[in-house]
Amino acid sequence: MMNQQIEDAESALLHTYNRFQIVLDCGKGVYLYDSNGKKYLDFVSGIGVFALGYQNEAYNQALKDQIDKLIHTSNYYYNVPTIEAAKKLKKITGMDRVFFTNSGAEAIEGAIKAARKYAFNKDNTTDHEIIAMEHSFHGRTMGALSVTGNPKYREAFEPLIGNVRFAQLNDFDSVLEQLSEKTCAIILETVQGEGGIIPASEEFLKKLRALCDEKNILLILDEIQCGMGRTGFMFAWQKFWVKPDIMTIAKAVAGGIPAGAFLMTEEVAKNSLVAGDHGTTYGGNPLVGAAINKVLDLFEENHIIENVNLVSGYLEEQLDLIVEEYDFVQGRRGAGLMQGLLFDHPVAEVINKALEHGLILINAGTNIIRFLPPLIIQKEHVDEMIGILKKCLS
């Protein structure tokens, strides 16, 4: 059955992904099942989306209730779930204003527009510049692609939005080299995801914050992958308390309903986007609002961050043992339940073998295996994962 489904998929879908040869059919907790009924331990969670695990009853019920009430209106009207979601996001981020989007890339688009408008209002000129980081990933739309530091993703689609300059993550001097009178924003992931699970250092973040304050430049932190408890803090920047002027979130925020947001301080809000400057048909509709509300409630009720901090130390220990045991595994890096194992060769074969053995893993770059399990995993799941991984390595 599954082979026929894959054949159908390959004849109908645009081939923009080299997909793994399985069709996923249902999930429960931290396990997924394909349409032949085979069970997989999930250490990807849909790239950091399904943090609360599959078939969470309270989450599913909240969606069902909202579906029976009201799914969509328009942003020309208010709706209660989204008002509640915005209030909760303000509280946990310390930011002042929220704009809901349908994806991460759109959150980046909004952040870029807000930064440009802020600079325009300040000096009445255009042509402002943005500094982004090499090896960053911010999404696939034209604006988000423009600040994505991977030439392979950008090249065929140029010209993108102009005036983006690239610096090296954790190299403050390289930022200074790109700085000009026209710089309006610096954008980075607090922990680089696709680029290879590389955390921004405390020193780097603090120097960026000071530079931005001095020059009245906006600091934009992309927390789309590393936010929402993933690193053991609600947002990764809260580890060092380097607060951005604009931040972007998505992935885990609505637990699988397509949603994101960009948030900003009051200072940015009152000097940037106004009525007519930005909009979206679906963003923050009642179903999305209900999903975000429930996700945020469940983070508290189920002590998700405590669990991340409890289990991630154990995951780190176990991954470090792998580094010790196998010569070709060169190191581990990451934070919380966002970890990467660095190999001295491509990891595609290991990942395919793991799939055969019932473990879902993904790469970040060619030589790095990325671990983004649901945030509800327990030590026993780490043991199960390590057991399968070892089989695939020997």
Residues that bind ligand PLP (CB under 6 A): 103-105, 108, 137-139, 189, 193, 222, 224-225, 250
Q: End-to-end CA distance of the chain, in Å?
A: 32
For the CB of residue 104, give the shortest distance to ligand PLP in the complex, in Å. 2
Q: Of how many residues is the chain composed?
A: 394
- The smaller minimum CB distance to ligand PLP, of residues 105 and 131, is found at 105
Q: How many CB atoms neighbour CB 284 within 10 A?
A: 24
For the CB of residue 378, give the shortest distance to ligand PLP in the complex, in Å. 25
- The smaller minimum CB distance to ligand PLP, of residues 250 and 377, is found at 250
Compute the radius of gyration of the chain from its Cα atoms. Answer: 21
Name 340's bridge partners.
333, 370
Q: How far is CA 70 from CA 79, 103, 198, 285, 287, in A?
A: 9, 21, 41, 9, 7
For the CB of residue 1, give the shortest distance to ligand PLP in the complex, in Å. 30
- Supply the DSSP symbol for 44: S
Encoding tokens for residue 195? 């680029």
- The smaller minimum CB distance to ligand PLP, of residues 34 and 192, is found at 192
Contacts of 15 (CB under 8 A, 6+ apart): none
Q: For residue 152, is it left (φ>0), alpha (ψ between -120 and 50) or beta? A: alpha
- The smaller minimum CB distance to ligand PLP, of residues 211 and 254, is found at 254
Report cis status (omega within 30 of 0) of the bond before 81: no
Tokens 């085979």 found at? 38
- The smaller minimum CB distance to ligand PLP, of residues 81 and 104, is found at 104
For the CB of residue 36, give the shortest distance to ligand PLP in the complex, in Å. 28
The two counts, helices (H) then strands (E), for the chain are 14, 17
- The smaller minimum CB distance to ligand PLP, of residues 193 and 340, is found at 193
For the CB of residue 84, give the shortest distance to ligand PLP in the complex, in Å. 23
CA–CA distance, 7 with 345 (Å, rounded to integer):
31
The residue sitting closest to ligand PLP, measured at its beta carbon, is: 104
- The smaller minimum CB distance to ligand PLP, of residues 148 and 272, is found at 148
